[in-house]
Amino acid sequence: MYNGRVRNDALIVTCEHGGHEVPPAYAPLFAGHQALLQTHRGWDPGALELAQQIAAAFDAPLFASTTTRLLIDLNRSIGHKTLHSEATRGLPLATRREIAAQHYLPHRRAIEAEVARLVAAGMRVVHIASHSFTPELHGIVRPDIAWLYDPRRSAEGPFVARWLAATRRRQPGLKLRRNFPYHGRLDGLTARLRKRHPADHYIGTEIEINQRYFHAGGEAWDALRATVIAALADVWGK
């Protein structure tokens, strides 16, 4: 466990796509979509394992879901076009609201409440959202690790830059990127929290791990997670 203390910073860890479970009540909805559940569209392979280890290493609270994102995507805002998948977007509004009440709002509200509590206590919240991406999509080859953030926020860019640099020092061969293949300003949980809290109270970043490490398993996957956590410890408090 990391025992350092960072000014008045408090770390929280979240994982919105940690599994591909289907609640029994909604199993019939996936009768024609079972194959999708195991793919990257159903969940973020490896993201929960990394989130759990970061939280344990820094004694930080972890907010995670293992319900498939195909039921409802916890990293999209209500009303976003990809909040629901093809398995659920055609459901009656009442049913979609029921799904949100049971499987979306509890996760979002718990995180929002914890961030608000810490900010009210005079802390600056550093939020790490753990995700993963496919090695290649639409002909675009992804890096080993990417960090997503909002460059308009004064502290987010420097925080990510320090973490990335420490990761590179510890494992020089890794391909590392910032705001690629997605931009950190896009719709998501961190974007919502930025709207609620000023830059000096909230730092939000999403870390994206290449899923090929999870699928390969073994020493490379163990080493990647260890590098990410050790690099974060290198910069936490600086």
93-145 pLDDT per residue, tens: 999 999 999 999 999 999 999 999 999 999 999 999 999 999 998 888 999 99
CB atoms under 10 Å from CB of 236, counted, come to 20
Q: Give the dihedral of Cα atoms 150, 174, 130, 189; nearest 10 deg.
A: 20
- The reply to whether 2 falls in a domain is no
- The reply to whether 29 falls in a domain is yes
Q: Whole-angstrom Cα distance, residue 74 to residue 189?
A: 8
- The reply to whether 113 falls in a domain is yes
- The reply to whether 47 falls in a domain is yes
The total of structural domains in the chain comes to: 1
Domain CATH number, residue 144: 3.40.630.40
The residue segments making up the domain with residue 189 are 9-235
Instruction: Give residue 89's pLDDT.
Output: 93
**Along the 238 residues of the chain, how does pLDDT read in single tens digits?**
444 445 699 999 999 999 999 999 999 999 877 888 989 999 999 999 999 999 999 999 999 999 999 999 999 999 999 999 999 999 999 999 999 999 999 999 999 999 999 999 999 999 999 999 999 988 889 999 999 999 999 999 999 999 999 999 999 999 999 999 989 999 999 999 999 999 999 999 999 999 999 999 999 999 999 999 999 999 996 6
Residue 4, classified by CB atoms within 10 Å of its CB into exposed (0-12), middle (13-18) or buried (19+), is exposed
C-alpha Rg value of the chain to the nearest Å? 18
Phi and psi (nearest 5°) for 176? -120, 140
- The reply to whether 1 falls in a domain is no
* Number of residues that this document lists for the chain: 238
- The reply to whether 174 falls in a domain is yes
How far CA 26 is from CA of 33, 93, 100, 141, in Å, comes to 12, 15, 13, 35
Q: Whole-angstrom Cα distance, residue 20 to residue 95?
A: 20
**Residue bearing tokens 């159903």:** 42
- The reply to whether 3 falls in a domain is no
- The reply to whether 61 falls in a domain is yes
Start-to-end Cα distance in the chain: 18
